[in-house]
Amino acid sequence: MPMPEVTSPTPSQNSVLAFFDVDNTLMRGASAYYLGKEAWRCGIVGWRDLALFAWHQFRFVAVGENHKHMTTARERALAIVGGHPERTLIELAERIYERDIVPNLWPETVDLTKEHLAKGHEVWLVTATPQFVAEVIAKRLGLSGALGTRVTALDGVLTGELDGHVLHGAEKATVARDLARRLGANLAECWAYSDSSNDIPLLSAVGNRVAVNADVKLTNYAQKMGWQILPLNRAGLKEARRRVKRQAKTVRKHGQ
């Protein structure tokens, strides 16, 4: 699968990466829904598409991620961008961020990204969300970058066809390993955060795994494996931040 361009500093064996899922980990709900809603506002899709996105959002918030339903929503979200200039979709993503994503961010998880940055780590979003949306979220939160589902573009216009695969399940682990290799990071020292059992491959790829706001299957698996389970409350956040401060390797930047 083609990898996004990495604009980080020259690779160093001192690099530590922290990977964060987006939907129901960094924010409440499914980001694909907000893409669909904004597309409806702009007249790109109709009421039927909006209703479909709304149904998937309801299910996601109420009962957690369902692979079949979320794949349908994501594929539709990617399809609706076909024929539109990349610049237009980036502007759409900026509006989504301000109007829909900011009010739904989990402050506890956002604070954890800042804790990792303070330790000198690179913080990357790894998500099935379209790349152009994920990049806006990462940039606005001051993170290192984002790995998202990519759509093919020709002469600056998105075709609506995938460039590679939907970044889901084992695909997340693959791109995380590739990025760690390119940046010279030891995966045993890296971290990953997710709410979904679909991300067990990603969590298993690193040495420090945290189940955030976890679904039942991931909770059971994390308990069995002895992984940290983080409830999204003040006590859980306090413990998680203590663990990062206490156990995470501090990376010194050149010149420091």
pLDDT of 190-226, one tens digit each?
999 999 999 999 999 999 999 998 999 999 999 999 9
In tens, the pLDDT along 115-164 reads 999 999 999 999 988 888 899 999 999 999 999 988 777 887 777 677 77
CA–CA separation, 224 and 162 (whole Å) = 36
Angle at 250 between CA 245 and CA 255, to 5 degrees: 140
- CB count within 10 Å of CB 189 equals 19
Q: Where are the domains of the chain?
A: 17-247
Residue 241: exposed, middle, or buried by beta-carbon count in 10 A (0-12, 13-18, 19+)? middle
**What is the model's pTM?**
0.80
Catalytic annotation present for 100: no
What pLDDT is recorded for position 10? 43
Mean pLDDT of 38-62: 54
Catalytic residue from among 23, 195, 199, 215: 23
In whole angstroms, what is the distance from residue 236 CA to residue 238 CA? 5
pLDDT attached to residue 229: 92
* Confidence (pLDDT) at 153: 78
- pLDDT band (50, 70, 90) for residue 249: confident
Catalytic residue of the set 21, 49, 195, 199 = 21
- Looking at mean pLDDT, say which of 1-10, 69-78, 143-152 comes out highest: 143-152
Closest CA to 109 of 230, 222, 12, 224: 230
Average pLDDT over residues 164-180: 90
Q: Is 21 a catalytic site residue? A: yes
CATH architecture of 17-247: 3-Layer(aba) Sandwich (3.40)
| Better pLDDT: 184 or 253 | 184
Can you give the pLDDT at residue 12? 46
Residue 7 near residue 145, CB atoms below 8 Å: yes
